[in-house]
Structure 1
């Protein structure tokens, strides 16, 4: 997995835009203005912070302790850092991105969800 594939996957999702709100090296993806994924462009190894259901988050950290940890500088209850080069498949990494996106969409207002559907 590399950052280009990750970026293309995120941008292919409905209503997604990319931003650099913190600095010029932290790439943030938002759906309808709400953040669902971010990564440091200069981080080695490549790693991504993704939103996650709190219960699932703990389970994932236990099962994939080398690849999924509590997100640095973020609420560890709701965010994980995922290191795709760890012991997870690309398909599973994409599933985690999908979950993050869906968590954020679910939290949008009904009006914003309808607007997203219309895109």
Structure 2
């Protein structure tokens, strides 16, 4: 039987898998879409634990478009490399044209 934490992480992972290639979203946007209120930190913990779950965690950034989770990847540049491979430009650990690449999970309202 899964714990509440495992169930919550599984739900977060399902939503993160819906982020389209070449787009990014934020920890807070995921939390809000799932009704977690101020659960951005919980989403961050889930992303840190997601690397064995086939989750595109590289598409989740902070509210300013910064790659704050990069230190949880196998190398310090892995997150940036994955984003650039999807056409997302990154400079100094910051998404260039963040608004252009932002995907709002609230657009799925009623589907999640």
TM above 0.5: no
Which is helix-richer, 1 or 2? 2
Structure of higher RCO (CA pairs closer than 8 Å, 6+ residues apart): 2
User: Scaled by the length of structure 2, what TM-score is found?
Assistant: 0.28
Which is strand-richer, 1 or 2? 1
User: Scaled by the length of structure 1, what TM-score is found?
Assistant: 0.27
